[in-house]
Amino acid sequence: MPLYIRDDAVDALAEKVRKATGAKSKTDAVRKALQAQLDAENNRKPLLERLQPILERADAIGEPDPDFDMKKYTDEMYEGM
């Protein structure tokens, strides 16, 4: 089944991709771009898996100090200025 591009902006974009990738035709460029996007989606890690290193670092830091006074800390930090 043929693919017809009726939008001039999409056609121009397909031509830019064709030139940038060295594809033989716009159809080949579109095929490669769609396959690359599909591969990226299929290989994308779930959010929780991507956040795992950050969650581990947060766990290593531990719970915040409930007695910490941010106002006092900030005031002390700017006293000498």
The structural domain count of the chain equals 1
**What pLDDT is stored for residue 35 in this prediction?**
95
Query: What would the DSSP string read from start to end of 9-70?
Result: HHHHHHHHHHHHHT-SSHHHHHHHHHHHHHHHHHHPPPHHHHHHHHHHHHHHH-S--TT--H
Q: Is residue 30 in a domain?
A: yes
- Locate 13 and state its tokens: 């974009």
Residue type, 71: K
With 80 as the cut, is the pLDDT of residue 2 above it? no
Domain span at residue 46 reads: 8-62
pLDDT at 80: 75
Reported as a pLDDT band with limits 50, 70 and 90, residue 3 is: confident
Tell me, yes or no, whether 2 lies in a domain.
no
* Domain assignment present for 58: yes
Which pair of structure tokens corresponds to residue 12? 């121009």
What's the pLDDT at 43?
87
pLDDT digits (tens, 9 = 90+) for 12-56: 999 999 999 999 999 999 999 999 999 999 889 899 998 999 999
Angstrom distance (rounded) from CA 19 to CA 22? 5
Mean pLDDT of 54-66: 94
